[in-house]
A and B are shown apart, each in its own frame.
Chain A
Amino acid sequence: MKLLEYEAKEVFRRYDIPLGASVVASTPEEARDAFTKIGKPVVVKAQVGIGGRGKAGGIKPADTPEQAYAVAKHILGMRIKDLPIRKVLIEERLAIQHEVYLGVIIDRASKCFTILASREGGVNIEEIAAKTPEKIVRQNVDPLRGFRSYNANGVAKRLGYDGKKMQQLGDIIQKLYRVAYEMDAEFTEINPLVETTNSFVAADARLNVDNNALYRHKELEAKYLESFEGELTPREMEARAMDLTYVELNGDIGIIGNGAGLTMATLDTVMLYGGHASNFLDLGGGASPDRIGKAVEFVLKDSRVRALFVNVLGGITRCDDTAKGIIEARKKLGDNKPIVVRMMGTNEQEGKRLLHGAGIETDDTMEEAAQKAVKLARDA
């Protein structure tokens, strides 16, 4: 789950990470009041869950309450990459001397949290990694010992700081790690961390929370669906609300499988035979006829879909349940789009018998079924 900048900053504030004065506003009037409250030149920043907002015109300075009103009105009326802007953050403008990058990621290979830091902040970390990889300091966090003050100071030192600034920066790095750990972050970032004459201030904030850990962060659950706005298409949002694991693609062959690996392999095989999948839909394990029916209905309702390919390898998912779900959905929709089903495993014979009775073809191998699906979509 991706938090917006102001939401991430609310978390950072709880951890005493230094921030500029800021106020969230949903209307131009609120933006004007925010300016008055802050009482110095500000920047008005669009709150949107995707990158590139600066380039899209979503970050603008304001020097008077009236300017704050006008700029906020403009930004609140625009869309960035098709997303409406519902809130802006009015934040005190900082005197930037230097920009530092700080991030905490999960290193899959080292199986731990890893601190990333660089003095080349202000651009994204992938850009830094591509241009000047030697300027990134990496520090793995020992999961059993934790990230201690000397580890944090060590990172600050390697960035070239010493004395008071090393301690200030070390303190912020340690706090950012605590945010990552305690908030179950998949990823958290301060970029840039602005270095002023005698201190540091976090000018931007990113925090992505592990979806599997949301039960530990009840305060976020209410915003869960909304947080996908930037990442998911409207169709994917709808699927998420139905608890379906669905990814929208550009083709015309609907794909439903059980298990992520098998479903991906199904897409790949369709592509290999010259077809294009309209989606990825993983039923997961042990889906009921009702759930399968819902999934089939959801994919068939997509007007782009010219044929549907269901690929089920029965283990805990039963082939007869799959057949029942497909037949039910089809009946409900009164739909005649061609369907190809490949099923193997638990209760396979019964599943095939049901499908054949309903006039739906089955295949024994994924390769044959994929070729058939490609042909049916082409001829439809």
Chain B
Amino acid sequence: MKMKLINKDTKVVVQGITGTQGKFHAARMKEYGTKIIAGVTPGRGGQEVDGTPVYDTVLEAKERHGCDASIIFVPAGGVLDAALEAMEAGMDPIVLITEGIPVRDTIELVARAKQIGTTVVGPNTPGLIKAGESKMGIMPNQVFKRGSVGIISRSGTLFYEIAAHVTNQGLGESTCVGLGGDPVVGLDYIELLKWFHKDPETRAVALIGEIGGDAEEKAADFIASGGFTKPIAAYIAGRAAIPGKRMGHAGAIIQGSTGTAESKMNALRGAGAAIGEQPVDVAKALKKVLG
């Protein structure tokens, strides 16, 4: 499947722009340079939010402004409809910031996206950013600096933590993507590793994982099979977690013997990734390789 991310030309519509989060982050995204073209809130068409026109439907926003992509801040119960609407209007990618979406809704919208070839980022994600150009997300602007490290993460604040270290090491970031903390999300590590493998602006990748599921193990298999050959460093959160307990994220849970941090670290180490004992080690390891 072709995967679509963002760049400085991506024209973005914000679904849920009249809510507290939507309004706040639309402003931060604009500050960063994102082309926020329109907002959508049913029933609020004709209004403006900080100078951005609001429409009742995504289709209207598209017809008036030619938007390409959508970022969604609507409450959890409305996300399935909002995402299907965005897909039907041809938005790609679609970024789902909202936390607390029923898994069944995610399963349905991700299946539909796959069928029509739309990229879905999230849900429960900080979003994605092309450093120095544009962001569709809620990450703090000051942490990122244009550079050569691609970042893939299942979490939010830990991703900012490691991005800050990467920036402090003088490396900077190319494109960074938050996969999302839910059990089912639109993108996998592997799809992004394939993308980063070909991306000329990315010289190395930081992979930030956590307990639960086996997505990191699958990524390790993919790397070991030669699918991704650039330098890679990883950090896995949750070594101190107790089996059977959900650690904040709906997806962060060790079930039986699967999903442990050790299993993920061993798999990635076996595939040739540098494993950070602490978050800062990831940036240090990449600095060592990239110079």
A263 to B247 Cα, complex, angstroms: 9
Instruction: State the B residues within 8 Å of A (CB).
Output: 21, 24, 76-77, 100-104, 106-108, 110-112, 115, 138-140, 142-143, 153-161, 164, 181, 183-184, 188, 208, 210-211, 213-215, 218, 235, 237-242, 244-252, 256, 261, 277-280
Least Cβ–Cβ distance between A209 and chain B, in angstroms: 10
| A:92-149 near B, CB below 8 Å | 106, 108-109, 111-113, 126, 142-144
Chain A residues with CB under 8 A of B235: 265
Chain B residues with CB under 8 A of A268: 237-240, 261, 278
A261 to B248 Cα, complex, angstroms: 8
A195 to B208 Cα, complex, angstroms: 47
Q: Is the CB of A106 within 8 A of B210?
A: no
Interface range on chain A (Cβ under 8 Å from partner): 35 or more
Chain A residues with CB under 8 A of B112: 144
Q: Is the CB of B208 within 8 A of A261?
A: yes
Q: Is the CB of A366 within 8 A of B161?
A: yes
| Number of A-B residue pairs at CB separation under 8 A | 164
A277 to B241 Cα, complex, angstroms: 10
A186 to B104 Cα, complex, angstroms: 9
Take A212-B250, A259-B156 as given contacts and tell me if A265 and B104 are in contact as well, using a CB distance cutoff of 8 Å.
no
Instruction: Spot the interface stretch: A33-41, A295-303, A312-320, A326-334.
Output: A312-320
A215 to B104 Cα, complex, angstroms: 13
Interface of A is mostly: mixed
Take A113-B107, A143-B111, A184-B102 as given contacts and tell me if A264 and B241 are in contact as well, using a CB distance cutoff of 8 Å.
yes
Chain B residues with CB under 8 A of A269: 278-279
Q: Is the CB of A260 within 8 A of B184?
A: no
Q: Is the CB of A262 within 8 A of B111?
A: no
Name the residue in B24, B140, B159, B188 with the highest tally of chain A Cβ atoms < 10 Å from its Cβ: B140
Q: Is the CB of B248 within 8 A of A245?
A: yes
Identify A260's interface contact among B102, B139, B155, B242, CB under 8 A.
Answer: B155
Take A144-B112, A260-B249, A262-B158 as given contacts and tell me if A366 and B138 are in contact as well, using a CB distance cutoff of 8 Å.
no
Chain B residues with CB under 8 A of A264: 155, 158, 210-211, 237-238, 240-241, 247-248, 252
Chain A residues with CB under 8 A of B76: 212
Query: Is A247 engaged at the interface, CB distance under 8 Å to the other chain?
Result: yes
Q: Is the CB of A261 within 8 A of B101?
A: no
Least Cβ–Cβ distance between B157 and chain A, in angstroms: 3
* 15 extra A-B contacts, CB within 8 A, seeds A112-B107, A366-B278: A106-B107, A184-B103, A184-B104, A210-B103, A210-B104, A212-B100, A247-B241, A260-B181, A264-B210, A265-B161, A267-B239, A268-B237, A268-B239, A272-B277, A280-B247
